[in-house]
Amino acid sequence: MIPGRGRLAEAAPGLYRGGVALPSLQPRPDPPPADLARAREVLAETWGYGDFRDGQAEVVGAILAGHDVLAVMPTGSGKSLCFQLPALLLPGLTLVVSPLLALMRDQVAALERLGVPAACINSELTMDERRRVDEALDRGALKLLYLSPERLSQPATQQRLARCGVSLLAIDEAHCVSQWGHDFRPEYRLLGGIAERLAPRSRAAFTATADPTTQGDIANQLFATPPRLVVRGFDRPNLRLAMAPKQGRKRQLLEFLEPRKAWSGILYCASRKKTEEYAELLRGEGFRAEAYHAGLESERRRAVEERFQREDGRVVVATVAFGMGIDKPDVRYVAHTDLPKSIESYYQEIGRAGRDGLPADTLTLWGLEDVALRRRQIDESDAPDEIKRVEHRRLAALVALCEAPRCRRQTLLAYFGEKSEPCGNCDLCEGGVELVEATELAQKALSAVLRTEQRFGLEHLINVLRGEKSEQVLRFGHDRIKTFGVGAELAAKAWRGVFRQLYAAGLAEMDIARFGAWQVTDAGWRVLRGEVPFQMRREALEGRRGGERERRRAAPVADALDPAGQDRFERLRALRRTIAEAEKVPAYVVFHDRTLLEMARVNPQDQLALSTVPGVGAAKLRRYGERFLAVLRAGG
Closest CA to 98 of 112, 85, 84, 115: 84
Average pLDDT over residues 576-586: 89
pTM over 0.85: no
pLDDT at 2 over 50: no
pLDDT at 27 over 70: no
Encode pLDDT of 120-143 as tens digits. 988 778 888 889 998 999 899 999
Encode pLDDT of 100-125 as tens digits. 777 788 889 899 999 999 999 887 78
* Most confidently predicted of 181-195, 292-306, 536-550: 292-306
Average pLDDT over residues 275-290: 96
pLDDT of residue 597: 92
pLDDT at 410 over 60: yes
pLDDT of residue 434: 78
Answer for the pair 174, 70: CB distance below 8 angstroms, yes or no. yes
Encode pLDDT of 454-498 as tens digits. 999 889 999 999 999 999 999 999 999 999 999 999 988 889 888
Q: Which residue has the higher pLDDT, 105 or 46?
A: 46
First to last CA, the chain: 61
pLDDT of residue 9: 39
Contacts of 402 (CB under 8 A, 6+ apart): 243, 245, 339, 364, 366, 500, 504
pLDDT of residue 448: 94
pLDDT at 23 over 60: no
Average pLDDT over residues 439-448: 93
Domains of the chain by range and CATH?
31-231 (3.40.50.300), 239-368+401-431 (3.40.50.300), 439-533 (1.10.10.10), 563-635 (1.10.150.80)
Whole-number Cα distances in Å, 404 to 332, 429, 595: 24, 11, 37
Answer for the pair 396, 11: CB distance below 8 angstroms, yes or no. yes
Encode pLDDT of 590-609 as tens digits. 998 889 999 999 999 999 99
Q: What is the CA radius of gyration of the chain?
A: 26
The DSSP code sequence of 87-120 is HHHSSSEEEEE-S-HHHHHHHHHHHHHTT--EEE
Average pLDDT over residues 295-301: 89
pLDDT of residue 430: 84
Encode pLDDT of 212-236 as tens digits. 778 888 898 899 899 999 988 788 8
pLDDT at 628 over 60: yes
Closest CA to 417 of 4, 3, 6, 11: 11
Answer for the pair 211, 344: CB distance below 8 angstroms, yes or no. yes
Q: Which residue has the higher pLDDT, 205 or 14?
A: 205
Q: Which residue has the higher pLDDT, 417 or 121?
A: 121
Res. 631 pLDDT band, cuts 50 70 90: very high
pLDDT of residue 342: 86
